[in-house]
Amino acid sequence: MKYPYVVLCSYFPGKPLKAWRIGKDLTRITRREGLVPHFDPTHGPEPYASWTDVPLHAQVRRRTVQDGPGGEWHQDGDTTPGSRMDNAMVLWANTTHTEFKYNGTVFQPEPFQVVLIRNLGCFHRRPADAPRHRWTFRQRVVVPGHIALP
């Protein structure tokens, strides 16, 4: 079965959980994997995230917005005019990972897996059963030439 994502590794943050530590650790992993931050000033990290790094186009959130647009199938930037949507994304969650729809099938990584997807290669959403208190990481990166993505 072909998955819409590549598992880069699993990441288990130390205690106590801190947004800045999760962000620094995971951006260190993406750098080690040779991933380059995506530049898109129109659709950057969410300003209300617990931790953001605009130049790295990365964010960490510790709460799920239950009624936000992330609960519908989407591609990042699809409602932002002028957004540069051809990118890849690194995603991580400590529980109830992001769901991906690819060729009509829904996939969901295991908690703590760090995954890489091509934004235009599939749709994604926040799962309906995602708890309000859930740590997540997102970094938009340039589509890599050295890692094959669907």
**Residue ranges of domains in the chain:** 5-124
CA distance 16 to 99: 27
Mean pLDDT (the chain) is 94
Kindly state the tokens that stand for 143: 């589509």
Strands 105-107 and 99-102: antiparallel
pLDDT recorded at residue 140: 98
CA distance 25 to 7: 16
Nearest Cα residue to 138 out of 120, 119, 121:
119
pLDDT recorded at residue 148: 93
What residue type is assigned to position 84 of the chain? Answer: R
pLDDT in tens, 27-64: 999 999 999 999 998 998 988 899 999 999 999 999 87
pLDDT recorded at residue 150: 84
pLDDT recorded at residue 66: 65
pLDDT recorded at residue 65: 72
Residues of the chain short of pLDDT 50, as ranges, are none
